């Protein structure tokens, strides 16, 4: 695939990913991976196996994300091939299996012990593991423990017991990274998020209908759409157990935030420094935090963002993280463009991206005069 074609397809929605899987589109191999929950495997988009049901499919940025979700590589399409030779891949698989089997007890889970399993030095294991899977052994261990914690919370019992049984040394390790691990506190997760209140408001803007929603911790949803019904369906699919109500019934602050968003779209030089409450992977959070530092009137390429967050080879993953953004404007993914300076994709349409960038450039230029 030519680089220009690759860049145009970096930010793929789940609909486009599913379309690629349905068509077994080999051109999308390496851009994303899909996992099948019923079989426990993850595959390339071009996998020749029998197509799964859509409801059983999840999409991942990298093999590492799929591995952290507890999936294993498909033996038919071999999604890790091309990343390393077979002997290296088998050693990585052995290390992954050991981590997954011992994550709760913690027995032998040092880098030195894992390196002995592979027959490498600790440095070589760490470097090769990340090159093949896109994550470090420590990140896989943390993900396995979070998965175990979720399982134990669903089974009942006390939160404290679940935290320690899952292999966490203290409850503070879970709570200090709560956004990264669960997107809510362990107690809320155990109850299916049913006590999480979400307020929303919507308005017509120069760029179309905009709906914003927030928990008591910050904005969790800001998106453009064709109708309120469509946007509400998407909000409810993100938070099916939450108590969702219009802002006048729950959170008056929501109206203030909505006013700031609409004024920004009308050309007011507003700073959208709002508190946010989003569920995301470690990598997504790293990308989104950097995007919030890009000044208005400026842009960055996918490669520049990757280098800025210390992962120069992750341009493709940066594009996927931009496409997963749920907070339009607040997390300004529209300020990321292709390496050849083309606009690239945008979750809410390239036309909106064009207008946003042009307006921000005009405001920035006017402020400099």
Architecture of domain 197-265: 2-Layer Sandwich (3.30)
- Tally of CB atoms within 10 A around 94: 14
| The CATH number of domain 282-368 is 1.25.40.10 | no
Distance CA 286, CA 318 (A): 10
DSSP per residue over 322-367, as a string?
Answer: HHT--BTTTS-GGGEE-TTS-----TT-HHHHHHHHHHHHHHHHHH
Res 15 pLDDT > 50: yes
Distance CA 28, CA 319 (A): 14
In this predicted model, which residue has the larger pLDDT, 24 or 187? 24
CA 36 to chain centre: 18
Distance CA 153, CA 367 (A): 52
Active centre residues (catalytic):
43, 333
Residues with Cβ < 8 Å from 180, sequence gap 6 or more?
280, 281, 282, 285
**Which tens digits make up the pLDDT trace of 48-97?**
998 899 888 988 877 877 877 778 889 899 888 776 677 888 888 888 88
Q: Two tokens at 112? A: 């030195």
Cβ pair 111, 104 in contact under 8 A: no
Which one is the CATH code of 86-190: 2.40.440.10, 3.40.50.1000, 1.10.3210.10, 1.10.10.60? 1.10.10.60
**Which tens digits make up the pLDDT trace of 276-289?**
887 766 678 888 98
Name the band, by pLDDT with cuts 50, 70 and 90, for residue 202: very high
Q: Tell me, what DSSP letter sits at residue 27?
A: G
Q: Is the pTM of this model over 0.85?
A: no
In this predicted model, which residue has the larger pLDDT, 68 or 307? 307
Cβ pair 199, 217 in contact under 8 A: no
Crossing angle (nearest 10°) for helices 137-154 and 86-102 = 40
Res 158 pLDDT > 90: no
Q: What is the mean pLDDT of residues 175-204?
A: 60
Cβ pair 145, 166 in contact under 8 A: yes
Residue (of 225, 245, 264, 248) closest to 355 by Cα position:
264
- Tally of CB atoms within 10 A around 139: 20
Domain extents for the chain? Answer: 3-73, 86-190, 197-265, 282-368
Handedness of CA 228, 233, 235, 236 (dihedral sign): positive
Structure confidence at residue 222 (pLDDT): 96
Q: Two tokens at 145? A: 């423990």
- Tally of CB atoms within 10 A around 152: 21
| The CATH number of domain 3-73 is 3.20.20.370 | no
Res 131 pLDDT > 90: no
Residue (of 30, 8, 281, 43) closest to 139 by Cα position:
281
Same CATH topology for 86-190 and 282-368: the answer is yes
Residue (of 88, 171, 170, 103) closest to 138 by Cα position:
103
Q: What is the mean pLDDT of residues 291-296?
A: 88
DSSP per residue over 44-105, as a string?
Answer: -TT--SPPPPGGGEEEESSHHHHHHTT-EE-TTT-TTBTTB-HHHHHHHHHHHHHHHHHTTT
CA 76 to chain centre: 27
Structure confidence at residue 66 (pLDDT): 82
Res 210 pLDDT > 90: yes
Name the band, by pLDDT with cuts 50, 70 and 90, for residue 36: very high
């Amino acid at each position: 695939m030519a680089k220009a074609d690759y860049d145009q397809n970096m930010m793929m929605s789940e609909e486009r990913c599913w379309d690629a899987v349905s068509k077994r589109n080999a051109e999308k191999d390496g851009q994303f991976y899909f996992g099948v929950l019923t079989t426990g495997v993850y595959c390339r988009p071009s996998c020749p196996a029998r197509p799964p049901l859509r409801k059983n499919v999840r999409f991942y940025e990298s093999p590492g994300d799929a591995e952290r979700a507890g999936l294993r590589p498909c033996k038919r399409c071999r999604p890790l091939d091309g990343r390393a030779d077979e002997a290296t891949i088998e050693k990585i698989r052995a290390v992954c299996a050991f981590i997954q089997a011992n994550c709760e007890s913690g027995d032998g889970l040092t880098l030195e012990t894992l390196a002995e399993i592979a027959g490498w030095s600790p440095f070589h294991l760490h470097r090769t593991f990340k090159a093949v899977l896109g994550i470090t052994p420590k990140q896989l261990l943390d993900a396995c423990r979070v998965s175990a914690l979720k399982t134990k919370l669903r089974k009942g019992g006390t939160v404290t017991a679940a935290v320690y049984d899952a292999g966490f040394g203290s409850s503070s390790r879970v709570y200090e990274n709560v956004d990264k691990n669960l997107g809510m506190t362990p107690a809320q997760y155990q109850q299916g998020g049913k006590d999480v209140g979400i307020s929303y408001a919507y308005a017509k803007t120069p760029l179309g209908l905009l709906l914003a929603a927030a928990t008591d911790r910050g904005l969790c949803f800001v998106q453009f759409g064709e109708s309120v019904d469509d946007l509400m369906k998407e909000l409810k699919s993100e938070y099916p157990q939450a108590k969702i109500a219009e802002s006048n019934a729950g959170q008056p602050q929501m109206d203030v935030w909505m006013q700031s968003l609409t004024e920004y779209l009308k050309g007011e030089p507003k700073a959208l420094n709002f508190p946010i409450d989003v569920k995301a992977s470690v990598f997504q959070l790293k990308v989104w935090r950097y995007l919030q530092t890009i000044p208005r009137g400026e842009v960055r390429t996918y490669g520049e963002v990757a280098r800025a967050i210390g992962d120069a080879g992750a341009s493709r993953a940066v594009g996927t993280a931009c496409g997963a953004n749920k907070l339009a404007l607040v997390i300004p993914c529209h300020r990321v463009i292709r390496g050849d300076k083309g606009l690239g994709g945008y979750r809410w349409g390239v036309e909106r991206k064009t207008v946003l960038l042009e307006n921000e450039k005009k405001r920035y230029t006017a402020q400099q005069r």
